[in-house]
Structure 1
Amino acid sequence: MSRRLISAFLLATLAAIPAARADDSAALKAASAAVLARPVGATEETVVKIPRGEATIVGTLELPKGVEKPPVVLLLHGFTGSRDELPIKDTDEGVFSRTARLLAERGVGSLRIDFTGSGESSGKWEDVTAQSEIADALAAFDWLKGQPNIDSEKIHVLGWSLGGLVASHVAAGRPVASATLWAPAQNPAYNFAHFLGTEAVEAAIADPDAEKVVEIKLPWGATTKLKTNFFKSLTTVDPVAAIATYKGPLLVIVGTKDTVVTPQPAGGEIFLAYHDGPEKLLVLPTDHAFDAFTGPATVDTMAGASLAVIEGM
């Protein structure tokens, strides 16, 4: 069977997956509103550098002032992103920098990192693979475990899109207190073939030269260059299998207008179908960018819901 037929089969299979149960959207929206309505405190940011072998991961640690040893969330950005993430219309913040502030104002710290090859971290973008991002996230988690000013028993993980795939593997490999997945890639080879083009992705996977640099056109018109090794790496990771080994609290948030990680909400429900533990699903009428290009309302709802689950809703 060709990869194209496999992709079509996967799409049909995902579309046919029934919801494991009704989603928790109404309760989560109410919890988010209650969390966001609470009084807020001051926060402080510190830029940190985390070694991983010869590489250096740069991140921003944002903590609530006056809170002794707060819990912390490791924030993992998406494909072509960086630690602050997409700018939000009518604000001076990105999706993750705003989320970090909303959390810290309410007593929960965060560490948002640039994966190596992205943002201010060392390395070249063209060398990125799924495995390198997972290794970065594990190194960041281990670094947090050694910090004396946070609660090392309450380190949570939150990932967006490809960062959701990474977060799933962190949850499988480390004792995270909870895992939150925003529009997570559930079948990476199919997901990337869908939004970058089947022929381009199949050709990169099949190319015998793993170091060959290929130019890929992104859906929004820009182009990027990656080694074929990135696309090959997508066939060797499985976020759903990873989350199946994780027994802790899980929150999955997906948007019905998402045209990048599709189909939804089936793409999110599959994580719940294979996860054995406390879990919640929030389905919103949003796109893959969480309406960031129109304003902060959806991002705020997601941040509030995430905080409610982190706090034990």
Structure 2
Amino acid sequence: MLRKWLLASVMLAAIVAPAAADDVTAKMRDASKIALARPAGETTESTVRIARGDETIVGTLALPKGVEKPPVVLLLHGFTGKRDELEVAGTKEGVYSRTARLLAERGLASLRIDFVGSGDSSGKWEDTTTFSQIADAVAAFDWLKKQDTIDPGRIHVIGWSLGGLVASHLASVRPVDSATLWAPVANPAFSFGVVLGQDTVNKAMAATDPNELIEGTLPWGAKTSLKVPFFKSLFATDPVAAIAQYGGPLLVIVGTKDTVVTPQPAAGQLFLDYHTGDEGLMVLDTDHGFDAFTGPATLDEMVGATLSFIEAH
């Protein structure tokens, strides 16, 4: 039987017992400190282009200098994000560009991509769906399998928020070595009722023209417009059911102050309840953005824990 990584005694329905969760998180924090205390090596980065049908996915490949065929981590960004992700206060890096550097400095390569319609990739944002983003992740994984600068037999995935949904579906159809989900969307229809407003979701689902643009307001005040198929895809993708088809190592990291993917830690625990295999749940006193608006401390702790988990598998 596969061991439950740091979590054998805390699986209680859809809720983590607070004392046990604190113990698990403390152990992960210790592992994070050890991982990040190692000497940092040098990193090289290059821009890559990956074809998916008529679309082009643009990504950044980060490689650790002096490491022959390192394991690689595929980084999948969140809703309205792009491959470097949210700017981290007090640094000149984004959540994912910093993650890539910290991983590479300690021997792990990574590929962070812009989903089609986002960042530098082709396509229009309004045409994105959960299905198109899953297809992008599959294309990126398949591209990595053909590269000779990394070990194509050791591909891991990290997904943040909606990227966590995408990572779950990728893990169900491709042999990823481990899956790490940061604040992952567990129930997309519910979560986007929170993120964009239930009236917005209802309007989209009642629309008869698939090309109708539906505008919604994000919790931080920004507006975004998407076509009807995006909203319909929320009801047709199920990340928890997807992760149930994945038997590899799974790490979920959530924050108790998350008001976007909520409630926590119950939403994160759902993935573990339906997953069979080595697994861990790290519960932090943080928000959906991992306190990136105030500095890198929480993010670095998460990266260290993720690095330790990946190396253990």
TM-score (norm 1): 0.94
Separation of aligned partners in 2, 1:306 and 1:283: 13
**Which runs of no fewer than 5 residues in structure 1 stay unpaired?**
1-15
Aligned to 2:3: none
Q: Retained in 1: the 8 A contact 2:213–2:225?
A: yes
**Which runs of no fewer than 5 residues in structure 2 stay unpaired?**
1-12
| 1:311 aligned counterpart, secondary structure | helix
Q: In structure 2, give the amino acid aligned to 1:207.
A: A
Aligned to 2:261: 261
Cα shift readout 1:253-310 (whole Å, capped 9, x = no counterpart): 0000000000000000000000000000100000000000000000000000000000
Q: Retained in 2: the 8 A contact 1:20–1:273?
A: no
Q: In structure 2, give the amino acid aligned to 1:303.
A: V
1:112 aligns with 2:112: yes
Cα shift readout 1:55-94 (whole Å, capped 9, x = no counterpart): 0000000010010000000000000000000000010000
Aligned to 2:10: none
Pair 153,20 (structure 1): closer, same or farther in 2 beyond 3 Å: farther
- Kindly report which structure 2 residues correspond to 1:1-313, keeping only aligned pairs within 5 A, or say none: 17-19=14-16, 22-23=20-21, 24-312=24-312
| C-alpha deviation, 1:20, in angstroms | 8.1
| C-alpha deviation, 1:19, in angstroms | 2.7
- How many residue pairs match? The answer is 298
Q: Which stretch has the larger CA shift, 54-63 or 209-218?
A: 209-218
RMSD between aligned residues? 1.1
Q: Retained in 1: the 8 A contact 2:164–2:181?
A: yes
TM-score (norm 2): 0.94
Q: Retained in 1: the 8 A contact 2:15–2:265?
A: no
Q: What percent of counterpart residues are identical? A: 66
Separation of aligned partners in 1, 2:251 and 2:17: 14
Separation of aligned partners in 1, 2:209 and 2:247: 39
Q: Retained in 2: the 8 A contact 1:82–1:114?
A: yes
| C-alpha deviation, 1:141, in angstroms | 0.2
Separation of aligned partners in 1, 2:41 and 2:205: 49
Q: In structure 1, give the amino acid aligned to 2:191.
A: N
| C-alpha deviation, 1:195, in angstroms | 2.1
